[in-house]
Amino acid sequence: MSHINDTEITEAVVAEHGLTPDEYKMVCDHMGRTPNYTELGVFSVMWSEHCSYKSSRKWLKKLPVDGPQVIQGPGENAGVIDIGDGDAAVFKMESHNHPSFIEPYQGAATGVGGIMRDIFTMGARPVANLNALRFGQPDHAKTRHLVAGVVSGIGGYGNCIGVPTVGGEINFDKSYNGNILVNAMCVGVARTDKIFYAAATGIGSPVVYVGSKTGRDGIHGATMASAEFDDASEEKRPTVQVGDPFTEKLLLEACQELMASDAIIGIQDMGAAGLTSSSVEMADKGGVGILLDLDKVPCRETHMTGYEMLLSESQERMLMVLKPGREPEAEAIFTRWGLDFAVIGELTDTGRMVVTHEGQTIADMPLGPLADGAPEYDRPHQPTPKAAEFDAGLLNGAPDMAAALTALMASSEIASRRWVYEQYDSMVMGDTLAGPGGDAALVRVHGTQKALAISTDVTPRYCFADPIEGGKQAVAEAYRNICATGATPLAITNCLNFGNPERPEIMGQFVGCLEGMGEAGRALDFPVVSGNVSLYNETNGTGILPTPAIGGVGLLKQLDKAVGNRFTENGLQIYLLGDSNGHLGASLYQRDVLANDDVFAPPPVNLESEAAHGALVRQAVDKGLLTAAHDISDGGLAVALAEMCIGHNIGAEISAEGDIGFWFGEDQARYVLAVTADKAADLEALADGLPLSKIGVTTGTELKFGDTVTISVEQLHELNEGWFPALMQG
């Protein structure tokens, strides 16, 4: 019987593995010979865009990653920040875009499972899940099917494992018709002296496989995620992994139990590229070699080749390096939890990855080139041309204010996401203080009076019109959403979703967005501690809107001081914080009310104002002055006010006057604040020269703008709640 390694390495075989001729030559140079089929497979996944970041590394290095709050920045399974009292928050966001389009339930479910493993691999217990989802046009033939499958997959996995899904965002745009985005974020909590890392050290130390058995699902998943779609992409279902949340729960508890000992040297989730990436990364980070005996790998299918075992992305698996002699103790724990445990190799002093199967050496490769030796491209990038300012002539004959507001409240972007988040368990674990529907989720640090504030944000239409300003705005909005609760923003993770980087205009979007993100992160002391890059998000040559999703995490030291984003009673004084210049370019008003797709400049971001206004909101919350705070984003001031009214069916009389731009412009660095009458003067004094103006008072059950516009809050609520159920009912 011939061995898979007997396969001749032709140009076609190289191309099937996603390597260019130049990259293949580099592989041969590193090897000092022609690689065999298995070795080619290993190089192909490790050098895939998904694993190597070969198109993005140059620019990722320019992001701010340091700060006194940062314990671990990019380069590990997840980022780690100090939240005081010996506690740490551990978090990351990942993409599972391509699999979720091909098989929405399993694609989304395994995205959730994978990101949770990244968190508990670090020694943290997951306490919160969030997601950032992008779908095509609501009336597109596939949208309803994809929404239903993805939402069901996220809920199915998160609910079963018992980690609350507490927030997220959903956008609809035609650019995602053939390539949806499913970005999953997880936040965990650990003790700062109990953080685990991936580096494997100690020659002779045992390499241990734990978790589920290995199957053939997910083979070439990393390579598939590094290529654009075409009309035949749905045929790639075998590359989508299949998840089992019940096994993941067992794996989580078993890992936590073993982590309470001192038996673990290094630990790594088997994520993209499975056993290959986990073993390569662990050995490389520790500066050692690794020997793997695939005969010892627990398999659920017969006659698996070594190639298949190395490249499988079967879920719920971990790779560990233990202290010699601690194997029986570890095995007893995993056996008690009903999980596979197998010693499948050891660390060596060779600096190589050597793999044996059925008595043969099937791969022998230098580790350095596999890990850090992937090519780093400085791809040509073409800056996005500056867009024109909004054409005020488009407002001639525009709908009146009442019609515009009711249209926006029932639009795809503003409509309530209740249909979605009611399928998620947001309260399990008992520490969720504010779940979906607010500016940021609030989750208590168990057993303390502290809470984490968490938000996911990006406005893709801004990023398309002006990547630099769009990148800034994504970071600034995450910052505002956290500040609106009273929490101090500490750090971000990101998930950078773009089209084909080999197209200079797409690479220009990427470079521009990162420039803006970096500038905002430095100005707001909001560093990047983890993240993910997802490129080639396009179908038949049409790319998605640039979508650099931001996951922000902040800390509220006294959870009883938190405020929500809804009016709570009549008689509150309503204030507007921030300058209103009536910026309608790239706004929802332009897109959904005027039905205009022209590209106009988005609102500029003043980072000094963002920092100053955020600080004021946090101080006001800390002093107990506010009853509600809401950042102004999509739809502008009018929409923000309507959202604050519908939460508790409390109306407002707005005395401020302005034109359409004032009400619907999306100027940045703005909040609506509510205070009781007896604390209004204190708020004004605290503002100390910042642009703060009283604009109205809460009263009754109608939202009134002067004497001309009156809309029932109940009507606004019905419009807002009705859109999503109508979409899903068809």
Beta-bridged to residue 345, according to DSSP, are 207, 292
> Does residue 393 contact residue 386 with C-beta atoms inside 8 Å?
no
Distance CA 634, CA 90 (A): 29
Bridge partners of 181, per DSSP, are 134
Burial class (CB in 10 A: 0-12, 13-18, 19+), 472: buried
Strand order of the β-sheet with 432-434 is: 432-434, 441-444, 451-457, 547-556, 488-497, 528-534
* Contact between 340 and 221 (Cβ < 8 Å): no
Contact 164, 426 (CB under 8 A): yes
- Please, are residues 86 and 115 in contact by the beta-carbon 8 Å criterion? no
CA 479 to mean position of chain CA atoms: 15
CA distance 654 to 636: 15
Cα 338 → chain centroid: 32
Torsion of Cα atoms, 176 then 220 then 117 then 63, to 10°? -60
Alpha-carbon dihedral of residues 25, 31, 32, 33, nearest 10 degrees?
Answer: -70
Rounded distance between C-alpha atoms, residue 320 and residue 343, angstroms? 9
Q: Could you give phi then psi for residue 233, rounded to 5 degrees?
A: -65, -30
- Judge whether 521 and 528 are in contact, CB under 8 Å: yes
What angle is formed at CA 199 by the lines to CA 197 and CA 202, rounded to 5 degrees?
125
Q: How many CB atoms lie within 10 A of CB 31?
A: 17
Tell me which residue of 315, 295, 314 sits closest to 305, measured CA to CA: 295
Q: Which residues are within 8 A (CB) of 476 and not within 5 positions of it... i.e. 6 or more apart?
A: 520, 524, 605, 607, 610, 668, 669
Cα 170 to Cα 173, 423, 665, 710, distances in angstroms: 10, 14, 21, 29
Closest CA to 375 of 30, 130, 78: 30
Cα 147 to Cα 142: distance, rounded to the nearest angstrom: 9
Active site residues: 50, 96
* Residue 105 and residue 153 in contact, taking contact as beta carbons nearer than 8 Å: yes
- Say how far apart CA 521 and CA 605 lie, in whole Å: 13
Which tokens in the block code for residue 97?
Answer: 């875009």
Whether the CA torsion 412, 413, 419, 420 is positive or negative: it is: positive
Terminus-to-terminus CA distance in the chain, angstroms?
Answer: 55
Sign of CA dihedral 406, 412, 413, 418: positive
What is the rounded CA–CA span in Å between residue 471 and residue 464? Answer: 10
Helix (H) or strand (E) holding 529: strand 528-534
| Distance separating alpha carbons of residues 327 and 305, to the nearest angstrom | 27
Half-sphere exposure of 336 (CA within 13 A, CB side): 11
Are the C-beta atoms of residues 479 and 552 closer than 8 Å to each other? Answer: yes
